[in-house]
A and B are shown apart, each in its own frame.
Chain A
């Protein structure tokens, strides 16, 4: 029998087994995330089943919120709307600011732009509860006296949005804090997306004689539209799930009181109602299932927003060079 050159099949079995175990262990660790998402969705659905059976669609579209035993009634509409309103306001305020910051970092010399970008990213490192503390004890007071009161006094009678008594703990304050919190998310993603635009595009715009701002408008924005939209969606996803800062600032109204009619009304969002009431909810009765049901809605909304965002940002990355259509 000729001598074999490669001695591969003479390796001891034990060695191959450990190899296989390692591979499957890593695969299992990777697949853990899929299992967690699946189990989480099923468990939230299963545990909130009583409330869906009891209230049906009324749970999503109702506005009553009463946890007194015997008179229980749960409708999550005010909280769903509260979440949508605060997040939309935060996005409307935060998105232009973030794009502006991303533009500034791009046009600044690297020596200055990098520290600025880093400083903005540091906002994300500040814990939510510290934002809440600052909002509650510092920002709210200044905001109430120097912004809300003048707005209310001058426009309160004519514009419905500025009616109501400014108190500082309201939808507007919470939205502004949220806007600050989502700036780093949007600005870092849009910075990445905008610097992914091919250099030829920018050079072509400059060659035509455009100013810096015109270069952004002609070359960068059309090219990175989808990515910027994705960045906005990721920011929206953060705003929707943000809990502590909002809980501390939004005023925590419940039930029909939480239906917001003016920017100076106290409201409630989905995360904040969970944070406020989860521990007080009695294990018997429908209170806990109702809160878990809100958690399920929140999970659904969060997943939908982030899946859309990732598709948008991903599409942006696959863009090919060539003219803008």
Chain B
């Protein structure tokens, strides 16, 4: 910065502080008020949604609602049994497909890749990939699985969801492995363990809380995902038959309910939404309570939600 511009800057700051103190304090108070109003504006919709879900969804819940097949509209009860079953199957399948890739990828980034060219590219594209619109992943799964197999299938849905899951898990794994003190690895090396044994036996067991957190939060994200399921598992109204047929899922079912112009469907939609929210919030609060008290929690939160940790 040149001398003149620094002088100018100083003059600016001096002028700013000379002005009326009472006015400045008022401005500060108004801004504080505005900032509180901002927070309220954001919290009100959340409370409103949760309140509506409890108010309209809770009375619908019954054993039959949760476990039976949806009957025809007008038959008295619309149930979401197949949807719950489908969501559980999809979560399981996408975990099987996505977790190994995610965890191994995270290990590579933290232990082997370091700051090398490949690792930097992978890290960058994982951060970008977390943000790719999920419906595009659905189209990709449609092209890569549905068209190849020739029919809609559970496989395609699981594959699409695993694409959402693996980068989140990989980045969470990387960040929590980085938290493990370097001396632990040295202790392992001093015992003559191989790099693989050090990584799997020592580092992973130390980092497991963070990894479990990442896995659970990615599960909660995947469980609420609708868009990629539209063109992969499509939805159905019967229980799971086999892996090569369409299947139902909770978010898909909620969407179908919302398209029907009947009061019954609307009420059942809230019942389904309440069930979904219950599961997702249970995961979030559980993770919060059991895994996030330690210092790793804050950075992890940002990684998990947004894919990038700001250091």
Contacts and interface: CB of A to CB of B under 8 A. Distances in A.
Interface string B93-128: 000000011111101110111000011011011111
Nearest to A22: B196
Interface stretch (B48-56, B59-67, B178-186): B48-56
A100 B39 CA distance: 7
Nearest to A126: B49
A244 B32 contact: no
Interface string B287-300: 01000000000000
A126 B13 contact: no
A123 interface: yes
Interface stretch (B22-30, B68-76, B237-245): B22-30
B104 to A, nearest CB: 3
B191 to A, nearest CB: 14
Contacts of B227: 128, 243-244, 271, 275
A227 B309 CA distance: 12
A227 B255 contact: no
A235 to B, nearest CB: 10
B201 interface: no
Given A119-B43, A299-B136, A310-B124, A30 B129 contact: no
A43 B109 CA distance: 27
Nearest to A21: B196
A85 interface: no
Contacts of A19: 194-196
A248 B42 contact: no
A142 B236 CA distance: 33
Contact of A192 (B107, B118, B270, B302): B302
A159 interface: no
B90 to A, nearest CB: 14
A27 B301 CA distance: 25
B220 interface: yes
B272 to A, nearest CB: 9
Question: For the complex, would chain B's binding face be called helix, strand, loop or mixed by DSSP majority?
Answer: helix
Nearest to A7: B192
Contact of A274 (B111, B119, B139, B269): B139
A67 interface: no
B113 A30 contact: yes
A213 B25 CA distance: 9
A139 B44 CA distance: 12
A245 to B, nearest CB: 10
B105 A26 contact: yes
Contacts of A220: none
Interface in B253-301: 254-255, 257-258, 266, 269-270, 273, 276-277, 280-281, 284, 288, 301
B306 A234 contact: yes
Given A40-B140, A104-B39, A209-B17, A127 B310 contact: no
A185 B305 contact: yes
Interface residues of A, number: 101
A208 B27 CA distance: 17
A1 interface: no
A19 B195 CA distance: 7
Contacts of B129: 33, 36-37
Contact of B135 (A18, A180, A274): A274
A243 B133 contact: yes
Nearest to B38: A100
Given A26-B105, A248-B258, A275 B135 contact: yes
A68 interface: no
B302 to A, nearest CB: 6
Interface in A163-200: 180, 183-185, 187-189, 192-193, 196
Contacts of B103: 29
Given A120-B42, A238-B131, A31 B49 contact: no
B133 A298 contact: yes
Contacts of B311: 196, 317
18 contacts: A23-B196, A27-B118, A29-B108, A100-B38, A104-B36, A133-B258, A133-B270, A133-B273, A134-B52, A138-B48, A189-B308, A210-B17, A214-B16, A237-B131, A241-B132, A271-B133, A278-B142, A298-B133
Given A29-B108, A31-B118, 15 more contacts: A26-B104, A27-B108, A29-B107, A37-B125, A44-B140, A100-B35, A129-B251, A130-B53, A188-B301, A188-B306, A208-B17, A211-B25, A214-B28, A278-B142, A323-B1
